[in-house]
């Protein structure tokens, strides 16, 4: 059975920030937005209704969804935003978005494909479960936020090659021109897909900026990795960094780690043997330490933590955590002992 898509509660703060920027009191809308905590699940019809109510306050504003999306910050997209920022280039950022999209929408919706010399990320209309399409306003907020987010992370970012929406053209005749000016590329409406297409060379552009929330997340990971490999030397620290990079991508295997370290599998295995530890034992120890750190962060759901540790399902994380600690992650999170141990 297909999942009904939704947005994460943190996304609603984007609209609140736009109201602040426009200096709109909007007490009723703000009260409705305040109901949603960052880790809440907001149904798509609710999100659409909030956007529509807010944009009626600026009836003369052309393409209001673009103005809202342009206010995006990493905190509005939660863990997905921070993992994207941790990527070394835009290609890795794109893969991170695909992996963590379900944390935002509750489902895997995006497809990535090569189109000649371009790369395309797209969302097909029939991927939206039970017909709950986002609609043009919510779609434009999302795509404007995506492009704005990427522009802020790279220097002199080139414009996309093409953007299309699977919704009809806006009723306001001035809007299509506003879309083309905002994105800096041709924009089409009424397409089979909502898509963003850009030159394949775009993927190699390095990410230049970070964020305080990302720094805190990385600091917690660094602390956990130090606990996983005490008395570490230079090689151990390099291995820690490789594991940190591979875990969120569900790619933490011995051959992949060896490639990242530019050594043979046999050499890596020999170095682990010298430390009297197997790859699986190291992987389990690292995951356990990271899990303990993440459980102390109430902004991360158990599903978030499972994905950050490289598990495709929360149930697999639950089983592993019970094997390591003889209790469930949920139990550990509410345990007084676990709280005191993180202080």
Q: What confidence category does residue 27 fall into, taking pLDDT thresholds of 50, 70 and 90?
A: very high
- Give the C-alpha separation, 227 to 218, whole Å: 14
Q: Are the CB atoms for 137 and 52 separated by under 8 Å?
A: yes
Task: Tell me if 283 sits within 8 A of 257, measured CB to CB.
Answer: no
Domain stop point among 177, 204, 231: 204
How confident is the model at residue 130, as a pLDDT? 39
Cβ contact 46:18 at 8 Å: no
Whole-angstrom distance, CA of residue 221 vs CA of residue 82: 13
Shared domain for 142 and 228, answered yes or no, is no
Q: How far is CA 297 from CA 42, 257, 292, 342, in A?
A: 21, 28, 9, 10
If asked whether residues 117 and 178 sit together in one domain, one would say yes
Residue 23 covered by a domain: yes
| Tokens of residue 154, six digits | 């790279």
311 and 224 within one domain: yes
Rounded mean pLDDT of 88-97?
80
Residues 172 and 279 in one domain: no
Q: Give residue 233's pLDDT band: very low, low, confident or very high (50, 70, 90).
A: low
Range of the domain at 103: 6-204
Residue 151 has pLDDT above 90, yes or no: no
Establish if 159 belongs to a structural domain.
yes
pLDDT tens-digit map of 315-340: 999 999 999 999 999 888 876 444 44
Please classify residue 270 by burial: count the beta carbons closer than 10 Å to its beta carbon, then call 0-12 exposed, 13-18 middle and 19+ buried.
exposed
167 plus 250 within the same structural domain: no
- The beta-strand segments (E) located in 138-189 are 162-164, 187-188
42-51, 63-72, 150-159, 182-191: which has the minimum mean pLDDT?
150-159
Alpha carbon separation from 326 to 213, 295, 336 (Å, rounded)? 31, 16, 16
Q: Which residue has the higher pLDDT, 223 or 17?
A: 17
**Is 118 a residue whose pLDDT tops 70?**
yes
Distance between CA atoms of residues 7 and 42, nearest Å: 5
Q: What percent of the chain has pLDDT over 90?
A: 34
259-284 pLDDT tens trace: 888 889 999 999 899 888 899 998 99
- In a shared domain, residues 174 and 292: no
Residue 226's pLDDT band, with cuts at 50, 70 and 90, is low
Which strand (E) or helix (H) includes residue 112? strand 110-115
Cα–Cα dist 325/322, whole Å: 5
Domain boundary, last residue among 149, 182, 204: 204
Q: Read off the pLDDT of residues 184-225 as tens digits, 9 standing for 90 and up.
A: 999 999 998 899 998 888 888 887 765 556 656 655 665 665
Report if residue 88 sits inside a domain: yes
Instruction: Please report whether residue 257 resides in a domain.
Output: yes
Asked if 216 and 124 sit in the same domain, the reply is no
Residues 196 and 279 in one domain: no
Domain shared by 178 and 61, yes or no: yes
Domain boundary residue, one of 204, 220, 244: 204
Which domain CATH number covers 319? Answer: 1.10.10.60
Q: Check pLDDT > 60 for residue 229.
A: no
Shared domain check, 63 and 193: yes
In a domain, 1, yes or no: no
Number of domains in the chain: 2
Same domain? For 127 and 243 the reply is no
């Amino acid at each position: 059975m297909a999942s009904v898509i939704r947005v994460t509660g943190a996304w609603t703060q984007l609209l609140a920030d736009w109201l602040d920027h426009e200096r709109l009191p909007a007490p009723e809308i703000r009260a409705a937005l305040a109901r949603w905590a960052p880790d809440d699940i907001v149904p798509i019809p609710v999100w659409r209704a909030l956007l529509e109510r807010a944009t009626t306050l600026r009836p003369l504003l052309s393409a209001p969804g673009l103005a809202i999306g342009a206010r995006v910050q990493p905190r509005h997209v939660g863990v997905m935003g921070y993992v994207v920022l941790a990527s070394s280039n835009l290609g890795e950022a794109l893969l991170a978005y695909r992996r963590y999209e379900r944390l935002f929408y509750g489902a895997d919706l995006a497809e990535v494909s090569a189109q000649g010399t371009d790369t395309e990320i797209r969302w097909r209309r029939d991927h939206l479960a039970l017909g709950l399409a986002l609609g043009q306003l919510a779609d434009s907020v999302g795509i404007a936020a995506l492009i704005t987010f990427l522009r802020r992370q790279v220097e002199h970012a080139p414009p996309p090659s093409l953007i299309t929406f699977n919704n009809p053209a806006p009723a306001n005749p001035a809007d299509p021109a506003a879309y083309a000016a905002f994105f800096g590329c041709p924009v089409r409406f009424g397409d089979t897909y909502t898509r963003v297409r850009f030159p394949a060379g775009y993927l190699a552009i390095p990410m230049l900026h970070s964020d305080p929330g990302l720094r805190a997340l990385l600091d917690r990971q660094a602390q956990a990795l130090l606990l996983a490999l005490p008395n570490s030397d230079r090689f151990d620290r390099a291995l820690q960094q490789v594991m940190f990079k591979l875990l969120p991508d569900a790619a933490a295997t011995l051959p992949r780690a060896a490639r990242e370290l530019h050594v043979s599998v046999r050499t890596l295995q020999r170095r682990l043997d010298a430390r009297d530890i197997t790859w699986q034992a190291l992987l389990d120890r690292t995951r356990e330490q990271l899990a303990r750190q993440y459980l102390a962060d109430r902004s991360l759901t158990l599903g978030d933590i499972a994905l950050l540790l490289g598990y495709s399902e929360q149930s697999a994380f639950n089983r592993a955590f019970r094997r390591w600690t003889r209790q469930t992650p949920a139990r550990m999170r509410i345990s007084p002992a676990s709280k005191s141990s993180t202080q």
